[in-house]
Protein backbone atom coordinates (compact mmCIF):
# COMPACT_ATOMS: atom_id res chain seq x y z
CA UNK A 1 0.00 0.00 0.00
CA UNK A 2 1.18 3.54 -0.77
CA UNK A 3 1.89 5.57 2.35
CA UNK A 4 1.58 9.38 2.55
CA UNK A 5 4.75 11.45 2.76
CA UNK A 6 5.60 13.97 5.42
CA UNK A 7 5.45 13.76 9.18
CA UNK A 8 3.12 10.96 10.25
CA UNK A 9 0.07 11.85 12.23
CA UNK A 10 -2.13 9.58 14.28
CA UNK A 11 -4.68 9.66 11.49
CA UNK A 12 -2.09 8.52 8.92
CA UNK A 13 -0.67 5.88 11.22
CA UNK A 14 -4.03 4.14 11.55
CA UNK A 15 -4.54 1.18 9.25
CA UNK A 16 -7.36 -1.30 8.78
CA UNK A 17 -4.93 -4.00 7.62
CA UNK A 18 -4.09 -6.41 10.39
CA UNK A 19 -0.44 -7.62 10.30
CA UNK A 20 -1.59 -10.84 11.99
CA UNK A 21 -4.04 -11.67 9.18
CA UNK A 22 -1.60 -10.57 6.47
CA UNK A 23 1.41 -12.58 7.61
CA UNK A 24 -0.61 -15.54 8.83
CA UNK A 25 -2.03 -15.89 5.32
CA UNK A 26 1.46 -15.42 3.85
CA UNK A 27 3.14 -18.12 5.96
CA UNK A 28 0.10 -20.39 5.49
CA UNK A 29 0.65 -20.20 1.73
CA UNK A 30 4.44 -20.52 1.99
CA UNK A 31 4.07 -23.91 3.67
CA UNK A 32 1.85 -25.28 0.91
CA UNK A 33 3.97 -23.56 -1.75
CA UNK A 34 7.03 -25.52 -0.55
CA UNK A 35 4.98 -28.73 -0.56
CA UNK A 36 3.83 -28.01 -4.12
CA UNK A 37 7.41 -27.48 -5.32
CA UNK A 38 8.45 -30.79 -3.75
CA UNK A 39 5.56 -32.60 -5.48
CA UNK A 40 6.49 -31.13 -8.86
CA UNK A 41 10.19 -31.96 -8.43
CA UNK A 42 9.45 -35.55 -7.41
CA UNK A 43 6.96 -35.96 -10.25
CA UNK A 44 9.33 -34.55 -12.89
CA UNK A 45 12.23 -36.63 -11.60
CA UNK A 46 10.14 -39.83 -11.60
CA UNK A 47 8.87 -39.07 -15.10
CA UNK A 48 12.34 -38.40 -16.51
CA UNK A 49 13.73 -41.59 -15.00
CA UNK A 50 11.23 -43.71 -16.95
CA UNK A 51 10.53 -41.41 -19.90
CA UNK A 52 10.97 -43.85 -22.77
CA UNK A 53 9.29 -46.82 -21.10
CA UNK A 54 6.25 -44.97 -19.78
CA UNK A 55 4.96 -43.03 -22.78
CA UNK A 56 2.15 -45.51 -23.45
CA UNK A 57 0.68 -45.23 -19.94
CA UNK A 58 0.55 -41.46 -19.67
CA UNK A 59 -2.98 -41.39 -18.22
CA UNK A 60 -2.28 -43.80 -15.35
CA UNK A 61 1.19 -42.57 -14.40
CA UNK A 62 1.44 -41.59 -10.69
CA UNK A 63 4.23 -39.15 -11.62
CA UNK A 64 1.83 -37.22 -13.87
CA UNK A 65 -0.66 -37.00 -10.99
CA UNK A 66 2.06 -35.58 -8.72
CA UNK A 67 2.99 -32.96 -11.33
CA UNK A 68 -0.63 -31.91 -11.92
CA UNK A 69 -1.47 -31.63 -8.21
CA UNK A 70 1.83 -29.90 -7.46
CA UNK A 71 1.48 -27.48 -10.38
CA UNK A 72 -2.06 -26.52 -9.38
CA UNK A 73 -1.00 -26.01 -5.76
CA UNK A 74 1.98 -23.92 -6.91
CA UNK A 75 -0.19 -21.51 -8.91
CA UNK A 76 -2.79 -21.15 -6.15
CA UNK A 77 -0.30 -20.64 -3.32
CA UNK A 78 1.75 -18.25 -5.48
CA UNK A 79 -1.32 -16.01 -5.77
CA UNK A 80 -1.85 -16.28 -2.02
CA UNK A 81 1.80 -15.52 -1.13
CA UNK A 82 2.29 -12.56 -3.43
CA UNK A 83 -1.25 -11.26 -2.92
CA UNK A 84 -0.93 -11.18 0.86
CA UNK A 85 2.61 -9.78 0.87
CA UNK A 86 1.90 -7.06 -1.71
CA UNK A 87 -1.67 -6.48 -0.52
CA UNK A 88 -2.91 -7.12 -4.05
CA UNK A 89 -6.68 -7.45 -4.20
CA UNK A 90 -6.68 -9.10 -7.66
CA UNK A 91 -4.33 -11.92 -6.63
CA UNK A 92 -6.09 -12.43 -3.31
CA UNK A 93 -9.50 -12.68 -4.98
CA UNK A 94 -8.06 -15.14 -7.52
CA UNK A 95 -6.71 -17.21 -4.64
CA UNK A 96 -10.01 -17.06 -2.75
CA UNK A 97 -12.22 -17.85 -5.76
CA UNK A 98 -10.01 -20.75 -6.90
CA UNK A 99 -9.99 -22.31 -3.44
CA UNK A 100 -13.76 -21.90 -3.19
CA UNK A 101 -14.31 -23.56 -6.58
CA UNK A 102 -12.03 -26.48 -5.65
CA UNK A 103 -13.80 -26.91 -2.32
CA UNK A 104 -17.23 -26.92 -4.01
CA UNK A 105 -16.02 -29.43 -6.63
CA UNK A 106 -14.68 -31.72 -3.91
CA UNK A 107 -17.95 -31.51 -2.02
CA UNK A 108 -19.98 -32.10 -5.18
CA UNK A 109 -17.79 -35.07 -6.16
CA UNK A 110 -18.33 -36.68 -2.77
CA UNK A 111 -22.10 -36.19 -2.90
CA UNK A 112 -22.40 -37.38 -6.53
CA UNK A 113 -20.15 -40.36 -5.82
CA UNK A 114 -22.43 -41.35 -2.94
CA UNK A 115 -25.70 -40.79 -4.85
CA UNK A 116 -24.51 -42.42 -8.08
CA UNK A 117 -22.43 -45.13 -6.43
CA UNK A 118 -23.05 -47.65 -9.24
CA UNK A 119 -21.73 -45.30 -11.92
CA UNK A 120 -18.81 -44.34 -9.71
CA UNK A 121 -18.01 -48.01 -9.19
CA UNK A 122 -18.14 -48.60 -12.95
CA UNK A 123 -15.74 -45.69 -13.52
CA UNK A 124 -13.35 -46.98 -10.87
CA UNK A 125 -13.46 -50.41 -12.54
CA UNK A 126 -12.52 -48.84 -15.89
CA UNK A 127 -9.61 -46.97 -14.32
CA UNK A 128 -8.36 -50.09 -12.54
CA UNK A 129 -8.59 -52.20 -15.71
CA UNK A 130 -6.66 -49.53 -17.60
CA UNK A 131 -3.99 -49.63 -14.89
CA UNK A 132 -3.84 -53.43 -15.23
CA UNK A 133 -3.20 -53.08 -18.97
CA UNK A 134 -0.11 -50.95 -18.29
CA UNK A 135 1.12 -52.92 -15.26
CA UNK A 136 4.43 -53.85 -16.89
CA UNK A 137 4.92 -50.49 -18.62
CA UNK A 138 5.40 -48.32 -15.53
CA UNK A 139 7.41 -49.36 -12.47
CA UNK A 140 5.69 -46.82 -10.19
CA UNK A 141 2.25 -48.04 -11.29
CA UNK A 142 3.35 -51.65 -10.84
CA UNK A 143 4.55 -50.99 -7.29
CA UNK A 144 1.31 -49.13 -6.50
CA UNK A 145 -0.87 -52.01 -7.71
CA UNK A 146 1.25 -54.60 -5.90
CA UNK A 147 1.02 -52.57 -2.69
CA UNK A 148 -2.78 -52.31 -3.00
CA UNK A 149 -3.23 -56.02 -3.71
CA UNK A 150 -1.07 -57.01 -0.75
CA UNK A 151 -2.65 -54.42 1.55
CA UNK A 152 -6.24 -55.47 0.82
CA UNK A 153 -5.52 -59.16 0.08
CA UNK A 154 -7.14 -58.96 -3.33
CA UNK A 155 -6.39 -59.62 -6.97
CA UNK A 156 -7.60 -57.67 -10.00
CA UNK A 157 -10.51 -55.26 -10.16
CA UNK A 158 -13.59 -57.49 -9.92
CA UNK A 159 -11.72 -60.82 -9.76
CA UNK A 160 -8.31 -62.32 -10.46
CA UNK A 161 -9.43 -63.05 -14.05
CA UNK A 162 -9.18 -59.31 -14.78
CA UNK A 163 -5.44 -59.84 -15.21
CA UNK A 164 -6.25 -61.28 -18.62
CA UNK A 165 -6.60 -57.64 -19.73
CA UNK A 166 -2.82 -57.37 -19.56
CA UNK A 167 -0.96 -58.49 -22.70
CA UNK A 168 1.59 -60.46 -20.67
CA UNK A 169 -0.94 -62.24 -18.44
CA UNK A 170 -3.54 -62.70 -21.18
CA UNK A 171 -4.91 -66.24 -21.22
CA UNK A 172 -5.54 -66.59 -24.97
CA UNK A 173 -3.90 -69.53 -26.74
CA UNK A 174 -1.86 -67.30 -29.06
CA UNK A 175 -0.15 -65.41 -26.22
CA UNK A 176 3.59 -66.27 -26.39
CA UNK A 177 4.40 -64.70 -23.01
CA UNK A 178 5.94 -66.87 -20.29
CA UNK A 179 3.47 -65.23 -17.88
CA UNK A 180 0.45 -66.42 -19.88
CA UNK A 181 -2.57 -67.14 -17.63
CA UNK A 182 -0.63 -65.96 -14.57
CA UNK A 183 -1.25 -63.25 -12.00
CA UNK A 184 1.29 -61.02 -10.20
CA UNK A 185 3.00 -62.37 -7.10
CA UNK A 186 1.14 -59.76 -5.01
CA UNK A 187 -2.02 -61.85 -5.51
CA UNK A 188 -0.50 -64.88 -3.80
CA UNK A 189 -1.36 -66.16 -0.34
CA UNK A 190 1.95 -65.65 1.41
CA UNK A 191 2.81 -67.16 4.76
CA UNK A 192 4.18 -64.91 7.49
CA UNK A 193 7.03 -67.42 7.92
CA UNK A 194 8.24 -67.09 4.33
CA UNK A 195 11.46 -65.10 4.23
CA UNK A 196 11.80 -65.10 0.44
CA UNK A 197 8.89 -64.24 -1.89
CA UNK A 198 8.38 -66.61 -4.81
CA UNK A 199 7.60 -64.19 -7.66
CA UNK A 200 6.35 -67.09 -9.82
CA UNK A 201 3.72 -68.20 -7.29
CA UNK A 202 0.90 -66.86 -9.49
CA UNK A 203 1.94 -68.85 -12.57
CA UNK A 204 -1.00 -70.46 -14.43
CA UNK A 205 -3.64 -69.43 -11.86
CA UNK A 206 -6.14 -68.19 -14.46
CA UNK A 207 -6.21 -71.69 -15.97
CA UNK A 208 -7.33 -73.19 -12.66
CA UNK A 209 -10.89 -73.51 -11.39
CA UNK A 210 -11.96 -70.89 -8.86
CA UNK A 211 -11.85 -73.23 -5.84
CA UNK A 212 -8.40 -74.56 -6.68
CA UNK A 213 -6.99 -71.11 -7.42
CA UNK A 214 -8.30 -69.90 -4.04
CA UNK A 215 -5.82 -72.25 -2.33
CA UNK A 216 -2.90 -70.29 -3.78
CA UNK A 217 -4.04 -66.73 -4.47
CA UNK A 218 -6.57 -64.12 -3.36
CA UNK A 219 -9.43 -64.49 -5.81
CA UNK A 220 -11.54 -61.55 -4.61
CA UNK A 221 -11.36 -58.30 -6.55
CA UNK A 222 -9.81 -55.17 -5.06
CA UNK A 223 -12.83 -52.95 -5.76
CA UNK A 224 -15.11 -54.91 -3.40
CA UNK A 225 -12.37 -54.98 -0.76
CA UNK A 226 -11.86 -51.23 -1.18
CA UNK A 227 -15.59 -50.52 -0.83
CA UNK A 228 -15.76 -52.66 2.32
CA UNK A 229 -12.73 -50.83 3.70
CA UNK A 230 -14.46 -47.49 3.08
CA UNK A 231 -17.56 -48.68 4.93
CA UNK A 232 -15.46 -49.89 7.86
CA UNK A 233 -13.42 -46.69 8.13
CA UNK A 234 -16.00 -43.94 7.69
CA UNK A 235 -14.73 -42.03 10.74
CA UNK A 236 -11.15 -42.15 9.44
CA UNK A 237 -12.22 -40.98 5.99
CA UNK A 238 -14.34 -38.25 7.57
CA UNK A 239 -11.29 -37.10 9.54
CA UNK A 240 -9.16 -37.03 6.37
CA UNK A 241 -11.85 -35.07 4.52
CA UNK A 242 -12.07 -32.62 7.41
CA UNK A 243 -8.28 -32.32 7.48
CA UNK A 244 -8.32 -31.38 3.78
CA UNK A 245 -11.26 -29.01 4.16
CA UNK A 246 -10.00 -27.01 7.15
CA UNK A 247 -6.87 -25.54 5.42
CA UNK A 248 -9.03 -24.61 2.41
CA UNK A 249 -11.64 -22.90 4.58
CA UNK A 250 -8.95 -21.12 6.59
CA UNK A 251 -7.35 -19.86 3.37
CA UNK A 252 -10.70 -18.66 2.02
CA UNK A 253 -11.57 -16.90 5.29
CA UNK A 254 -8.19 -15.20 5.77
CA UNK A 255 -7.99 -14.02 2.15
CA UNK A 256 -11.49 -12.58 2.23
CA UNK A 257 -10.84 -10.81 5.54
CA UNK A 258 -7.62 -9.32 4.14
CA UNK A 259 -9.36 -8.19 0.94
CA UNK A 260 -12.02 -6.39 2.98
CA UNK A 261 -9.35 -4.75 5.14
CA UNK A 262 -7.40 -3.57 2.07
CA UNK A 263 -10.56 -2.07 0.56
CA UNK A 264 -11.32 -0.24 3.78
CA UNK A 265 -7.74 1.06 3.86
CA UNK A 266 -8.01 2.30 0.26
CA UNK A 267 -11.24 4.13 1.13
CA UNK A 268 -9.52 5.71 4.14
CA UNK A 269 -6.57 6.88 2.04
CA UNK A 270 -8.86 8.31 -0.62
CA UNK A 271 -10.83 10.15 2.05
CA UNK A 272 -7.63 11.54 3.63
CA UNK A 273 -6.33 12.74 0.26
CA UNK A 274 -9.62 14.41 -0.56
CA UNK A 275 -9.77 15.93 2.90
CA UNK A 276 -6.23 17.39 2.66
CA UNK A 277 -6.86 18.79 -0.82
CA UNK A 278 -10.06 20.60 0.28
CA UNK A 279 -9.00 24.13 1.55
CA UNK A 280 -12.39 24.67 3.22
CA UNK A 281 -12.32 21.56 5.36
- Give me the pLDDT at residue 198, please: 75
- Give me the pLDDT at residue 81, please: 93
- Give me the pLDDT at residue 238, please: 84
- Give me the pLDDT at residue 6, please: 42
Q: Under 8 Å CB-to-CB from 158, ≥6 apart: which residues?
A: 125, 221, 223, 224
pLDDT, averaged per 10 consecutive residues of the chain (281 residues), comes to 43 77 94 94 82 54 85 94 93 95 89 79 87 86 91 92 93 89 91 68 89 91 89 85 90 94 89 69 48
User: Is the pTM above the cut of 0.85?
Assistant: no
Pairwise CA distance, residues 37 & 108, whole Å: 28
Pairwise CA distance, residues 79 & 72, whole Å: 11
- Give me the pLDDT at residue 278, please: 55
Domain residue limits, the chain: 19-158+221-265
- Give me the pLDDT at residue 8, please: 46
Distances (CA, A) of 90 to 17, 83, 257: 16, 8, 14
Amino acid sequence: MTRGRGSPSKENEFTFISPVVKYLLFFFNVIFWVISVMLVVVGVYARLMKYEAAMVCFTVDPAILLMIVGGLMFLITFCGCVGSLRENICLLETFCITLTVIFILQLASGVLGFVFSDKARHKVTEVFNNAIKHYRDDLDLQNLIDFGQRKFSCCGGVSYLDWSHNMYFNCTSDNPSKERCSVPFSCCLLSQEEGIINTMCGHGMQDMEFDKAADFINTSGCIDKLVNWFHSNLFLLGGIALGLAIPQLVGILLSQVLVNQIRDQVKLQNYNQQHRSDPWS
